[in-house]
Structure 1
Amino acid sequence: MCSAHYTLCFQMERKQGEVDHLELELDRPIPLTDKERVMIQDSWAKVYQNCEDVGVAILIRLFVNFPSSKQYFSQFKHIEDTRELEQSSQLRKHAHRIMNAINTLVENLDNSEKMASVLKLVGKAHALRHNVDPVYFKILSGVILEVLGEEFPEDVTPAVGSAWTKLLATLCCSLKAVYEEVGWTPQSASTG
């Protein structure tokens, strides 16, 4: 985990319901309180009941609002139709993997070693095997917050959203540290 304290601010400007700009500032993470851990776990329990559909909604929103993110997905990067994307078995598998990884992290909010282990695996795979620019983790974090807030407004209240923001800041910070540890640089990424 990132040892520094942090502040994370997601700012989204919208026009006609679409995200035109996402700014994520990661200064220093602020640790979660016990109350925030409980809020995250309680809200996630409801989200995870529909894990595949929510995961697909997150990926579709990511691809629609940030089309450049599709470059990392050879199986469906050329699919333009969102209905076709939603039906893609490859997209559904990846959505399920993302949701399972988040679930493991949420279940282990009080186990920093387990969280660090999961984030190290995710970070190394995305840095070394997939050459994903780490900025996409920040973008994905904003999309996750947006989708959870829209799809689960009773469960993801402003206070819960704030707790999720702190958690996602920690995750981004930790993933950035893994990228630095393995020596990833934009120049080392494939153009693939």
Structure 2
Amino acid sequence: MEKEQGGREMEHRERADPLSEAERAMILDTWARVYENSEDVGVSILIRFFVNFPSAKQYFSQFREMEDPEEMERSSQLRKHAGRVMNAINTVLENLHDPDKVSSVLGLVGKAHALKHKVEPMYFKILSGVILEVLTEDYPDCFTPEVQRAWSKLMGVLYWHVTGAYAEVGWVQLSSSAV
């Protein structure tokens, strides 16, 4: 732990490994296939996320009480949020060649989730894992072990940027037992 000004302890953040050119190409190639079905894939990701981690629903008043995956699938609010998630990922991927743009986009996502929605940052790490699971299951022919490693690395980069935004706004953890 490092000491922040004022004596508060702050976790030392190691920068995520940058993606190689080959990794970026693999990610963009597989994303092109995924994004063709982005709404359905996004809904699948959020349903799996909320079924496996129901505590995450506390941040969504519009579908907090939904338990049934089929009900979630029919929810226009869940579909709309899934679209926002997939579009944010798409914006990041369209700009992988521009680290400043990636940082800017993910900084906005992180700040909004920290300040406006008060979402615990650990949910981004959990969501990253769910995204990888769903993509690997839904696209087994193109999510080879090598592609999975590249996507895993990408998720680390995304998480690093989002949690950096949390740190920047002085995020204070609300609960240590949210999951």
Tell me the TM-score normalized by structure 1.
Answer: 0.82
For the residue of structure 1 that corresponds to 2:118, the secondary structure is coil
Match 1:158 to one of 145, 154, 157: 145
Distance in 1 between residues matched to 2:111 and 2:165, nearest whole Å: 7
Distance in 1 between residues matched to 2:24 and 2:163, nearest whole Å: 22
For the residue of structure 2 that corresponds to 1:186, the secondary structure is coil
- Work out whether 1:86 is the aligned partner of 2:77: no
Describe how 1:24-173 pairs up with structure 2 within 5 A: 28-173=15-160
For the residue of structure 2 that corresponds to 1:40, the secondary structure is helix
For the residue of structure 1 that corresponds to 2:119, the secondary structure is coil
Could you report, residue by residue, the CA deviation over 1:69-97 in whole angstroms, capped at 9, with x for unpaired residues? 11111100101111111000000000000
Q: Which runs of 5+ in 1 are unaligned?
A: 1-25
Structure 1 letter corresponding to 2:128:
S
Distance in 2 between residues matched to 1:30 and 1:122, nearest whole Å: 20
For the residue of structure 2 that corresponds to 1:118, the secondary structure is helix
Distance in 1 between residues matched to 2:17 and 2:171, nearest whole Å: 26
Could you report, residue by residue, the CA deviation over 1:100-126 in whole angstroms, capped at 9, with x for unpaired residues? 000011111111111111111101110
Distance in 2 between residues matched to 1:165 and 1:41, nearest whole Å: 14
Distance in 2 between residues matched to 1:61 and 1:119, nearest whole Å: 23
1:187 CA drift (Å): 3.7
Indicate conservation of the 8 Å contact 2:120/2:174, yes or no. no
Runs of 4+ that moved beyond 4 A: none
Give the root-mean-square deviation of aligned CA atoms: 1.6
Aligned-residue sequence identity (percent) comes to 62
Distance in 2 between residues matched to 1:169 and 1:55, nearest whole Å: 19
1:27 CA drift (Å): 5.7
Bigger Rg, structure 1 or 2:
2
Indicate conservation of the 8 Å contact 2:42/2:85, yes or no. yes
Q: Which runs of 5+ in 2 are unaligned?
A: 1-12
Tell me the TM-score normalized by structure 2.
Answer: 0.88
